[in-house]
Structure 1
Amino acid sequence: MPMTAVLQAQPPMSTADALALFDSLEPVDLDFMMGRWVGAGFDTHHPMDGLLETFGWYGKAFVTPDDVHPLLFRRGGSVVSISPRLMPMGLLWKVRLPRSALLNALSLPLKFALRTRRARARVRMMEHRGKVSATMIYDDLPIHDVFRKFDDATVLGAMDLKGMPQPFFFQLRREGA
């Protein structure tokens, strides 16, 4: 079975199992990450599992190493870049919000208010858990997203937020792949 099929079909797993999987994957370089990526959850029973999807998360866009749009969301029929600067990331993992279409609808004004054209992150090669791999660094938040390769079109991401006791995992698939 191709690795991508394993990724898409994976049932919820423990953080320890997700870390073991993450550690088994190969690192990626900066060139590999360039382009637009569609995001999806990777369930590890983390308090943030499913939250981004509830708000209409689309993915991420890597334009250059210094110009990364870390949060793309669907707004109506389009995809917009949202500034994470004012997002209460520390609160989002501490409070389990209900996942519902109503919550997504209520977030529309917030998506409009936080919309930005400026890139709000950059990507660098950094060491994490013993391997040097492409790592997205948020401009305004103490967050690093580290990426490991499933296949030529799919990566597993591990969000490392300062103060969060366990990583938040997600997957990205190259747009159009």
Structure 2
Amino acid sequence: MNLLEARARFRSLCAAEGPVESAELDDIWAALETVRPEEILGAWKGGEFDTGHPLNGMLPKAGWYGKTFHTLHDAKPLLCRDETGKLYSNVELGMGEASLWTVEFRGESTATMIYDGRPVLDHFKRVDETTLMGIMNGKDVPAEGPFYYFFLERAPETADGTPEPGDTA
């Protein structure tokens, strides 16, 4: 699969309802470009692919909006909405926050978010200038998975780098 085919297939899977095969997401991942941590600073709205992973559906239930990377060492992995719609960093669920590093995953070095309080890594690759594909990996996950697959879309930001207050998930 070439990059253009991967981007087109990625878009169709984001729009599709129902289950997505992990193997198809792996094929897309393999065709995408790596990204440097500095290139992904800012606010991102998130979504997930339903692969049957045990985490599927859990983040939306927690009010997950996305992620914000203020600096390399100030990342908010679980930006959520409270019952009034206000965004907050859910440090309880994430057991802290996170930082961005370049980490090798599947033979490629790419931007990776490392959680402060959990043995969890979110690896990122670029779909296009405003979209990232992510794979969540962790200490207890075998090399072949199962992995949690998600995506991030650039969110409109305020001057301080946080998502616009009226932005909807």
Q: TM-score normalised to the size of structure 2?
A: 0.78
State the alpha-carbon separation in 2 of the partners of residues 77 and 48 from structure 1: 23
Aligned length: 146
Q: Counterpart of 1:144 in structure 2: which amino acid?
A: L
Q: Is the 8 A contact 2:46 2:152 kept in 1?
A: yes
1:74-127 Cα shifts (integer Å, max 9, x gaps):
01121000115676xxxxxxxxxxxxxxxxxxxxxxxxxxxxxxx711001111
Q: 2:131 corresponds to which residue?
A: 154
1:29 aligns with 2:36: yes
Determine which of 6, 11, 24 is the counterpart of 2:12. 6
1:78 aligns with 2:86: yes
Q: Higher helix fraction: Structure 1 or Structure 2?
A: 1
Gaps of 5+ in 2: 158-169
CA pair 5-140 structure 1, distance change in 2 beyond 3 A: same
State the alpha-carbon separation in 1 of the partners of residues 123 and 51 from structure 2: 16
State the alpha-carbon separation in 1 of the partners of residues 38 and 92 from structure 2: 24
RMSD: 2.2
CA pair 49-67 structure 1, distance change in 2 beyond 3 A: same
Q: TM-score normalised to the size of structure 1?
A: 0.74
SS of the residue corresponding to residue 137 of structure 2 reads strand
Q: Counterpart of 1:156 in structure 2: which amino acid?
A: M
State the alpha-carbon separation in 1 of the partners of residues 68 and 19 from structure 2: 27
Deviation (angstroms), 1:19: 1.6
User: Following TM superposition, where does structure 1 have runs of at least 4 consecutive aligned residues deviating by more than 3 angstroms?
Assistant: 1-5, 84-87
State the alpha-carbon separation in 1 of the partners of residues 28 and 92 from structure 2: 28
Q: 2:45 corresponds to which residue?
A: 38
CA pair 86-121 structure 1, distance change in 2 beyond 3 A: closer
